[in-house]
Amino acid sequence: MSNAPDVKSPETPAVTPVRVVIALFLFAPFVAMLWVGSYAKTDPAFIGIPFFYWYQMAWVLISTALTATAYVLWQRDQRARRSARPEDGGVAQ
């Protein structure tokens, strides 16, 4: 029998629902922009700008919002993980 304790490393990344949401938020703009067939058209035009152009410009704003939200969620997740670690007393390094 081994005397070594069966302890999980505190640095082991865990897949949590919050991290899955963060990954989806960061992955969505890539999918939207790489799927060219979905926006390679001129109609509907918005104030005279063809769909192809305003769709891409809209994704600049959407990507910014998604990235900012992912960052906030990541910071919140990291704070929660730090406070849950008993070995360092919840003190940030």
For residue range 38-85, list pLDDT tens digits in order.
888 888 988 998 989 999 999 999 999 999 999 999 999 888 888 877
Give the span between the Cα atoms of 14 and 29, in whole angstroms. 24
3-state secondary structure 37-79: HHCCCCCCCECCECHHHHHHHHHHHHHHHHHHHHHHHHHHHHH
pTM comes to 0.72
pLDDT 10s digits, 1-49: 556 555 555 565 688 888 999 999 999 999 999 998 888 888 898 899 8
Q: Among 78, 40, 43, 70, which residue's Cα sits nearest to residue 56?
A: 40
Q: Among 26, 34, 20, which residue's Cα sits nearest to residue 70?
A: 26
